Amino acid sequence: MQNLIAGLALAVCAVLLLRLALGERRRWRFDAALRRGWQATRRRSLALLHWRASRRAAAEAAAQAIRRARAQSERDGNVYRPKSFQKPPNDTLH
C-alpha cells in the first residue's frame, strides 16, 4: 500500500515537473488534454457504475409504453387499432 502511494506521488511530481518545463501555449494544451482525459475517465466510470440501473429503467419504461398502447387499442387479428383513430358517432363532416 505504501509503495502504491509513493508511486502515485512520484507520478504526480513528474507530471508537475513536465508541466513547468513546457512553454505557455504547450502548457495550456497539456492542461486541456489532462482535463479531457480526466472527464472521459470519470464519465466512463460513472457509466460503468450505473449501467445496470439504466438498463432496468429502460426495460420498465418500454414495458409501461407497451401496456399503455395495448390498453388504449383494440386488436383485430394481428392489427392493433387505437381508440383515437375511431370516428365519433355523429361525424357528418366527411
pTM exceeds 0.85, yes or no? no
* 13-33 confidence digits (pLDDT tens): 999 999 999 999 999 999 999
Do β-strands 73-76 and 79-82 pair in parallel, antiparallel, or remain unpaired? antiparallel
Query: Bridge partners of 55?
Result: none
* 47-72 confidence digits (pLDDT tens): 888 888 888 889 999 999 888 877 77
DSSP string, 28-73: HHHHHHHHHHHHHHHHHHHHHHHHHHHHHHHHHHHHHHHHHHHHTE
